[in-house]
Amino acid sequence: MDTNTSRLAIFKDFALRNMMEVERIVCEVYSDHCEGRVDFALFDGGAHKGFHTKHMLALPGCKRVHAVEADPFMAETFKEIMARDATVNPCGLVFHEAALQNDKSCRKIRWRSSTTHVGRSSIVSENNNRQTIWRGNNEMGYRDDSEVVATTIDTIVDHEELPIPFVKLDLEGADLLALLGATETLRIKRPIVAFENSVHAPEVHGFSLADVATTFFQLDYVPMNFVGERIAADNWFGFFEAWLAPAESADWLSAHLKSALERRGL
């Protein structure tokens, strides 16, 4: 095992025992990345119960957070939590109840909502062999499939005039698919992106990882693992969370991730 793999394996073991530390590191990255900035917007895709939305809204200089949640049951929970939290500025919150994917012309998409693990609800693909990343998980119960509104990151951001220095995604396997629908956002806004990195995503959603990597390369983006090392198609799935950094921010992100792990004794 080489040094980079060893570091990632050590962090993976740590993360599995301390799952919220992953979210805290993500929070530290966008908080520090936005420090000193004024008049910007942030993007929380897969907002769930609003952990990151609330942190983003509280940042000095953050004027707007685009929070996206597709699951209708989780969306109601999100809205209730935001409404009863007196610290949340409702003027800065723009809520989108929709599933993020790659096709601007797609208006509705098939959805599977979990009754047991609401945060694992997801788009249902046309691949009958693996319709979601959670195939074969007997612990999970589901409602009958339904349709939800579909959109893209580019569509949501199209009329956003403010800079968007950071995008967080947690889309239960649809993250790379959604990023294929964010090429204009990446090209123009140049955010750092944190995304869920499911090994099953290409099979579920019918794309090639090599094609995805090429798309990011053409946009001058650097894929990175959670210990701050650059990744490529042949070593992409070392951990279930990953990053994209515009080339001009890649060194900053790598150093920041390494510092975050050092503070945790890793």
| Tokens 């509280």 belong to residue | 58
3 pLDDT band (50/70/90 cuts)?
low
What's the Cα-to-Cα distance from 173 to each of 26, 47, 60, 188, rounded to whole Å? 18, 15, 32, 25
How confident is the model over 26-30, as a mean pLDDT?
A: 98
Q: What is the pLDDT of residues 163-199, one digit of tens each?
A: 999 999 999 999 999 999 999 999 999 999 999 999 9
Radius of gyration of the chain (CA): 18
Please write the tens of the pLDDT for every residue from 99-139: 999 999 999 999 999 999 988 999 999 999 999 999 888 88
Taking residue 254's Cβ as centre, other Cβ atoms within 10 Å add up to 19
| pLDDT on residue 87 | 87
φ, ψ for residue 209, nearest 5 deg: -60, -35
Confidence tier at 6 by pLDDT (50, 70, 90): confident
Name the pTM for this structure.
0.96
What is the spatial distance between Cα 177 and Cα 45, in angstroms, rounded to a whole number? 12
Could you give the CA distance from residue 29 to residue 151 in angstroms, rounded to a whole number? 27
How many degrees, rounded to 5, is the angle at CA 67 between CA 62 and CA 88? 55
141-164 pLDDT tens trace: 999 999 999 999 999 999 999 999
Report pLDDT digits (tens) over 219-235: 999 999 999 999 998 89
**Sign, Cα dihedral of 49, 53, 57, 60:** positive
Residues written for the chain: 266
Domains and CATH numbers, the chain: 3-263 (3.40.50.150)
Average pLDDT value for residue range 23-31: 98
- Calpha distance 153→100 (Å, rounded): 7
Q: Please write the tens of the pLDDT for every residue from 50-100.
A: 999 999 999 999 999 999 999 999 999 999 999 999 888 888 999 999 999
Predicted confidence (pLDDT) at residue 30 exceeds the cutoff of 90: yes
Rounded CA separation 141/155 (Å): 32
Distance (Å, whole) CA 67 – CA 3: 38
Angle at 125 between CA 152 and CA 155, to 5 degrees: 5
Query: Cα separation of 97 and 74, whole Å?
Result: 10
Q: Per the structure block, which two tokens stand in for 249?
A: 């921010």
Question: Does residue 2 surpass a pLDDT of 60?
Answer: no
Task: Please give the DSSP secondary-structure letter assigned to residue 193.
Answer: E
At residue 1, the pLDDT reads: 42
pLDDT score, position 177: 96
The confidence score (pLDDT) of residue 4 equals 55
pLDDT band at 5 (very low <50, low <70, confident <90, very high): low
Phi, psi of 36 (to 5 degrees): 85, -10
The pair of structure tokens assigned to 123 is 């788009």
Partnered with residue 115 across adjacent β-strands are: none
CA pair distance 174, 100, nearest whole angstrom: 8
Q: Any idea what DSSP says for residue 155?
A: H
